[in-house]
């Protein structure tokens, strides 16, 4: 194993590193149940119970990302893939003498299974005096970061709780009676650290592994020698049905062993995550007690920094924190206009390679076949347009579907989805944002009527549920067979209100409304009755409807394609023309929506 020294503050720690080339692959299938070995200083294992189905693990070990790997499985009973450090059964390494163990990780994953975990994992041993009566000296342990709907600690014994790395964990033991173990088959204990609330599940961050060992010991969950520490493990279980299916990409698994356990963790995040960045100086995850760290927040385009929360206060972009305890700091940002950065990957469909039927292999995934109600579809890409040809629909309207996983949605934020679409025959399609794991809870859904002529469609929604950094977005195409063409798919943050994208409703007539015979625009002060001219080409919008516009009212403003531009507030004595010109500084025809729902157009020269 090659070792390099990584300096963090005043402490030196050993980081497992490598020089192996990317792409080494191992497979369990056709009765082969286990593959173990070492790659670039990281020990790995791929295990599939009874060798059922197929599981393939691709090792992407590097100095920068540690024991990174990818794994894909289908038709398995119980599957696990992991990388880390294995000392073995004759090890003299203990939780007391190993030094400080930490892991930096980042994972993208998707699976149809209920019993599944992203976790730190390993085996250890009781000291002879601590072995529980009737149990072996073996301990199987988990530090769970993300999981499916199944809670593995149900029926277990709770020993305590603690906040580690800013997350509240509960500590449990469970009993495994005559189950597979290091020694073959035995009765042994399992140790668990599991987030107290599912809202604290995560797929990236820093894990202070030694702090869990320390807190377990304080709670009475003792452990002596270490067999291994798998700083990142993916596990999936369906029992004897053999219907497990999924994919995971461990983008980072940087295991560090050594240094001092007295170092204090400093976790910094931007909220929303896409709004900006936070840098630390000096840059590290752990700091010596009483050391000072400078934090700097930088807003991305369309956002402004508004202040610090948690372990720091104030509204200046740069602030210093003193590490007198472990801290979590949040840099808060506020949206100041519609953003331009697409939150979806490859929405312009640059090539056919961005769509795959292998989960996780590309930006877009075509869900069809057995696990999608027996549906059948195929895709092609040409000139930035993706064509999905549905030949068989499934049992549900989402079967088949074109999906993108790992879409981050922040609670309280508003989003605007735009896309162009057409079909060979007029039909419906559905767009949906939802959880990517069981129970697949919906965040936002809308059905669109698609015609044979390409049009742009818009959907604005608010994320009202807890933030989800791994949500899924899908075009659900199970309403009918036939070809659907999709292009220019874009998701951005917006200040527009949900429903404001609907701009084609005619203005209700009233006794005070008059239709002028000319097309001249009449612009009057806000306190008077204004005649608003609408060009004849505006479709269902009424021509020159006259009604009272009150000062102090807010208006939502759109262009003639229905795109939301912003909002204005009309002051006393001001005219719409002046207000629009001051706000947007551009001549043209604008569409406006009053708070009472009335909509009209006006021209600014």
**275 in helix, strand or coil?**
helix
Name 447's bridge partners: 430
Annotated catalytic residue 108: no
Q: Which residue is catalytic, options 104, 140, 215, 326?
A: 140
Tokens standing for residue 284: 């590290």
Q: Which of 70, 228, 235, 501 is catalytic?
A: 235
* 406 Ramachandran zone, left/alpha/beta (phi>0; psi -120 to 50): left
Do 111 and 85 contact (CB within 8 A), yes or no? no
3-state secondary structure of 319: strand
**Measuring CA to CA, which residue among 515, 519, 499 is closest to residue 507?**
515
The closest alpha carbon to 583, from 601, 565, 605, belongs to 565
E strands, 438-596, where?
442-450, 455-462, 468-476, 482-493, 529-531, 546-548, 554-558, 564-569, 588-594
Q: Let me know the angle formed at the C-alpha of 226 by 225 and 229, rounded to the nearest 5 degrees.
A: 165
Q: Under a CB-based contact definition with an 8 Å cutoff, are residues 584 and 565 in contact?
A: yes
Q: How far apart are CA 254 and CA 239, in angstroms?
A: 31
Q: How far apart are CA 574 and CA 191, in angstroms?
A: 69
What residues contact residue 226 under an 8 Å CB cut-off, 6+ apart? Answer: 87, 91, 93, 94, 95, 98, 122, 123, 124, 125
Give the contacts of 295 (CB within 8 A, at least 6 positions apart): 268, 278, 279, 280, 281, 308, 312, 318, 319, 320, 321, 329, 331
In this structure, what are the phi and psi dihedrals at residue 185, rounded to the nearest 5 degrees? -130, 125
Q: Helix, strand, or coil here: 162?
A: strand
What is the rounded CA–CA span in Å between residue 257 and residue 580?
61
Q: What angle do CA 574, 577, 580 make, to 5 degrees?
A: 95
Of 31, 26, 2, 30, the residue nearest 14 (C-alpha) = 2
Beta strands across the sheet bearing 554-558: 564-569, 554-558, 588-594, 599-604
Is 140 known to be catalytic? yes
Q: How far is it, in rounded angstroms, from Cα 59 to Cα 463?
A: 36
**Which residues are designated catalytic?**
140, 235
């Amino acid at each position: 194993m090659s070792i390099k020294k990584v300096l963090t503050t005043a402490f030196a720690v050993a980081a497992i590193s490598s020089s192996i080339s990317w792409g080494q692959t191992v497979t369990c299938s056709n009765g082969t149940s286990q593959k173990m070995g070492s790659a670039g200083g990281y020990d790995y294992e791929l295990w599939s119970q009874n060798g059922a189905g197929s599981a393939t693990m691709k090792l992407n070990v590097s100095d920068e990302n540690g024991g990174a790997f990818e794994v894909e499985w289908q038709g398995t009973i119980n599957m696990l893939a992991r990388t880390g450090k294995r000392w073995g059964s004759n090890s003299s390494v203990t939780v007391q003498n190993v030094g400080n163990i930490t892991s930096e990780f980042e994972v993208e994953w998707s699976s149809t299974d209920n019993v599944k975990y992203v976790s730190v994992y390993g085996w250890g041993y009781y000291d002879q005096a601590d072995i529980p009566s009737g149990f072996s000296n073996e301990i199987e342990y988990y530090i769970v970061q993300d999981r499916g709907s199944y809670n593995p600690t149900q029926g277990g014994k709770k020993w305590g709780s603690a906040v580690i790395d800013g997350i509240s964990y509960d500590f449990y033991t469970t009993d495994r009676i005559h189950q597979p173990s290091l020694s073959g088959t035995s009765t042994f204990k399992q140790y668990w650290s599991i987030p107290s609330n599912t809202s604290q599940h995560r797929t990236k961050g820093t894990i202070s592994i030694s702090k869990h060992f320390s807190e377990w010991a304080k709670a009475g969950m003792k452990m002596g020698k270490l067999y291994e520490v798998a700083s990142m493990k993916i596990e999936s279980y369906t029992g004897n049905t053999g219907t497990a299916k999924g994919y995971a990409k461990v983008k980072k698994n940087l295991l560090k062993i050594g240094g001092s356990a007295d170092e204090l963790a400093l976790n910094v995040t931007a909220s929303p995550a896409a709004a900006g960045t936070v840098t630390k100086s000096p840059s590290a995850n752990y700091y010596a007690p009483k050391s000072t760290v400078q934090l700097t927040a930088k807003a991305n385009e369309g956002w402004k920094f508004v202040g610090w929360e948690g372990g720091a206060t104030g509204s200046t972009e740069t602030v210093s924190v003193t590490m007198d305890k472990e801290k979590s700091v949040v840099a808060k940002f506020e949206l100041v206009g519609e953003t331009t950065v697409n939150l979806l990957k490859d929405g312009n469909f640059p090539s056919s390679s961005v769509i795959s039927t292998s989960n996780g292999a590309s930006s877009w995934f075509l869900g069809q076949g057995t696990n999608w109600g027996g549906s059948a579809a195929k895709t092609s890409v040409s000139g930035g347009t993706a064509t999905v040809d549905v030949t068989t629909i499934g049992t549900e309207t989402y079967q088949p579907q074109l999906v993108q996983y790992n879409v981050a949605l922040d609670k309280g934020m508003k989003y605007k989805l735009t896309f162009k679409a057409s079909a060979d025959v007029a039909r419906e399609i559905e767009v949906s944002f939802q959880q990517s794991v069981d129970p697949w809870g919906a965040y936002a859904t809308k059905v669109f009527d698609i015609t044979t002529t390409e049009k742009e469609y818009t959907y604005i929604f608010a994320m009202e549920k807890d933030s989800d950094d791994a949500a899924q977005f899908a075009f659900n195409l199970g309403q009918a067979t036939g070809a659907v063409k999709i292009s220019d798919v874009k998701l951005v943050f917006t200040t527009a209100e949900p429903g404001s994208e609907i701009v084609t409703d005619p203005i209700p007539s009233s006794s005070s409304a008059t239709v002028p015979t000319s097309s001249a625009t009449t612009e009057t002060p806000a306190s008077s009755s204004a005649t608003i001219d609408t060009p004849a080409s505006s479709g269902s919008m009424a021509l020159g409807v006259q009604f009272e516009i009150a000062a102090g009212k807010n208006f939502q403003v759109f262009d003639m394609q229905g795109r939301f531009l912003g909002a204005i507030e009309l002051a006393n004595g001001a005219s719409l023309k002046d207000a629009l010109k001051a706000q947007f500084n551009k001549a043209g025809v604008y569409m406006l929506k009053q708070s009472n729902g009335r909509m009209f157009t006006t021209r600014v020269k």
